[in-house]
Structures are given as structure tokens and as C-alpha cells.
């Protein structure tokens, strides 16, 4: 099958490449853009390790063709805080609440949480657990993750200017 030109805007940078039209967004991010912070777990839309933001919505990137994302705004874990600045508030909350161990699920959970804070009003534990149910963690037992997300929802400690960056 002939390759197609794919152009993505990832973390504010334009990436142009050529690839099989059936290639997933996840594979383009990892193999063409070299943004390996987005993890490949199940590759079958179950674990959530590959979650990124597309135009601000959390999406499992193994389940999206890169061609479907032509010219869309994509944010990966690499794009939420500047390299030499402080961590993003969601990263800080995960750290403070011991919400990670091996870290494999963490980028996906952080991206899901950033979207959740824009989408959900309730900081009720049950609704948080339901909202995170598409992101699996094999290590933590979820207690720290849920505590972190509940606190973030209570305090809304995120920028208010639609930016996902931790910096104004």
C-alpha cells in the first residue's frame, strides 16, 4: 500500500512524515515523532497507557489512525510542562499522593486526568473511579491515583486559559 503524507501538530510543533495509511496515531507518535512518553500497552483499547489529548479530549491513540488526526492539536505527556520548569499540577498531585510505582500507566492517567478536570464537576470518589476505569494500573491499587484526582477536582488547580501547560 502506498504511503501517505501525515502532518500532525504535537505539543505545538508540526511533524510531517509519510507512512502506511493504516498506521495508528500511537505508532506515529512513538516511531516517527520519537515521543515515547506515550506508552504502548495492550494495543487493543483496553489499558489506556496510550492516552493523549486530541483537541483537548482524551483519546486512546492506539485506536486512532494518524491520518484521522491530520492537522489536529495533539498533546502528549512531553507537552504538559516545560523541560526546565516546574511539573504540571497533575504531575505534582500524582507525586504528592504516591499515585505511581513503575510508572507505565502514569502518562496515560495524567492525560486522562487533565481532560477529566475540564469535563467533570464532581469530585466524588465513585464518579472519579468510573471516569478512570478505562486506564488500568497494575501496581498501585488505585488509592493514591484516586486521592490525587479527587483533590485536583476539588481544588481545580489547573490553568484557566485552556492551556494544558503548567505555565501561563
What spatial distance separates the first Cα and last Cα of the chain, rounded to whole Å?
44
Per CB under 6 A, 104 contacts ligand FES: yes
Does residue 113 interact with ligand FES by CB under 6 A? no
- The CB-of-157 to ligand FES minimum distance in angstroms stands at 22
Beta strands 4-10 and 57-60 are unpaired
| H or E segment and range at residue 108 | helix 106-119
Rounded to 5 degrees, what are φ and ψ at 74? -115, 135
**Residues 17 to 46 in contact with ligand FES, rule: CB under 6 A:** 40-43, 45-46
From residue 118 to residue 147, the character string flagging contacts with ligand FES as x (rule: CB under 6 A) and all else as - is -------------------xxxx-------
Q: Is 115 in the site for ligand FES (CB under 6 A)?
A: no
Nearest CA to 97 among 113, 81, 84? 113
Nearest partner of 153 among 124, 130, 111, judged by Cα:
124
Candidates 102, 122, 124, 156; binder of ligand FES (CB under 6 A) is 102
Query: Which residues of this chain interact with ligand FES, rule CB under 6 A?
Result: 40-43, 45-50, 60, 62, 100-105, 137-140
Amino acid at each position: 500500500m502506498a504511503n501517505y503524507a501525515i502532518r500532525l501538530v504535537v505539543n505545538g510543533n508540526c511533524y510531517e512524515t509519510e507512512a502506511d495509511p493504516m498506521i495508528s496515531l500511537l505508532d506515529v507518535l512513538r516511531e516517527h515523532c520519537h515521543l515515547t512518553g506515550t506508552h504502548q500497552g495492550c494495543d487493543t483499547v483496553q489499558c489506556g497507557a496510550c492516552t493523549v489529548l486530541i483537541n483537548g479530549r482524551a483519546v486512546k491513540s492506539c485506536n486512532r489512525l494518524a491520518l484521522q488526526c491530520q492537522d489536529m492539536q495533539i498533546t502528549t505527556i512531553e507537552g504538559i510542562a516545560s523541560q526546565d520548569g516546574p511539573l504540571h499540577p497533575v504531575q505534582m498531585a500524582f507525586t504528592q499522593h504516591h499515585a505511581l510505582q513503575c510508572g507505565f500507566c502514569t502518562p496515560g492517567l495524567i492525560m486522562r486526568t487533565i481532560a477529566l478536570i475540564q469535563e467533570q464537576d464532581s469530585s466524588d470518589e465513585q464518579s472519579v473511579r468510573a471516569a478512570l476505569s478505562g486506564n488500568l494500573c497494575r501496581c498501585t491499587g488505585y488509592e493514591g491515583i484516586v486521592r490525587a484526582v479527587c483533590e485536583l477536582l476539588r481544588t481545580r488547580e489547573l490553568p484557566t486559559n485552556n492551556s494544558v501547560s503548567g505555565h501561563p
